[in-house]
Amino acid sequence: METQTLSYPIGEYQPPESISAGQKQEWINTLEHAPAKLKQAVREMSDSQLDTPYREGGWTVRQVVHHLADSHMNSYIRFKLSLTEDEPEIRPYDEKGWADLHDSKTAACGDTLELLTILHRRWAALLRSMTEAQFKRTFFHPVSKETVTLEQALGLYVWHSEHHIAHITELSRRMDWHFS
């Protein structure tokens, strides 16, 4: 299978030109339910399967699960900073370095799945409380040198959730792993 397809099983992120209130509500619902989809995707995997990379040179399923928690905790904090500060400059982190840490490579996924479930529930509650003006608040990303609105960030993290869940489900399909 082509490397681009393995790397981006749902395609690369394409931000919409405009974001409606209905689109935001759909994204919030998707984000809130992403941990359940992830839990379903890994629920019957053995340690051997969890330690299988989703593509050659890629992270293992276990690392992907832990990465989602790491990334989404950072994003949740960026939302909070943006809601309480004027265009904060966010602090990037070394996601590849974090994925290579011992806990990301070896820890059981159960606690991380619970963390994600609670985090996404809390994040969805925050998002549902936000006004249109709050969704227009911004943060500055010093690596990309971009100013990002919170509604843009929401769309990106919904895609991010679906993107990594697809890494796992597509690997299961390719490996012909059948779960009851």
83's tokens: 């809601």
120 labelled as ligand-binding?
no
CA 88 to chain centre: 21
Angle (nearest 5°) at CA 139 between 128 and 86: 90
Could you give the number of structural domains in the chain? 1
Give the whole-angstrom CA distance, residue 133 versus residue 153: 15
Q: Percent of the chain scored above 90 by pLDDT?
A: 96
160 labelled as ligand-binding?
yes
* pLDDT tens, residue by residue, 53-110: 999 999 999 999 999 999 999 999 999 999 999 999 999 999 999 999 999 999 999 9
Question: Per-residue pLDDT for 1 more than 70?
Answer: no
The verdict on residue 161 lying in a domain is yes
147's tokens: 């100013």
Residue 141 lies in domain: 21-175
Name residue, tokens 């690596």.
143
Asked if residue 6 lies in contact with residue 163, where contact means CB atoms within 8 angstroms, the answer is no
The verdict on residue 114 lying in a domain is yes
The verdict on residue 140 lying in a domain is yes
167 labelled as ligand-binding?
no
Q: What is the pLDDT of residue 30?
A: 98
The verdict on residue 38 lying in a domain is yes
Residues 14-35 have a mean pLDDT of 97
The verdict on residue 4 lying in a domain is no
CATH number for the domain harbouring residue 168: 1.20.120.450
The verdict on residue 7 lying in a domain is no
Instruction: List Cβ neighbours of 72 (8 Å cut-off, separation of 6 or more).
Output: 116, 119, 120, 123, 157, 160, 161
4's tokens: 């681009």
The verdict on residue 91 lying in a domain is yes
CA distances from 99 to 74, 110, 139 (A): 14, 17, 25
Global pTM reads 0.95
pLDDT band at 5 (very low <50, low <70, confident <90, very high): confident
Q: Percent of the chain scored above 70 by pLDDT?
A: 98
127's tokens: 């998002």
Task: Count Cβ atoms below 10 Å from residue 81 Cβ, excluding itself.
Answer: 16
The verdict on residue 15 lying in a domain is no
Give the whole-angstrom CA distance, residue 150 versus residue 138: 6
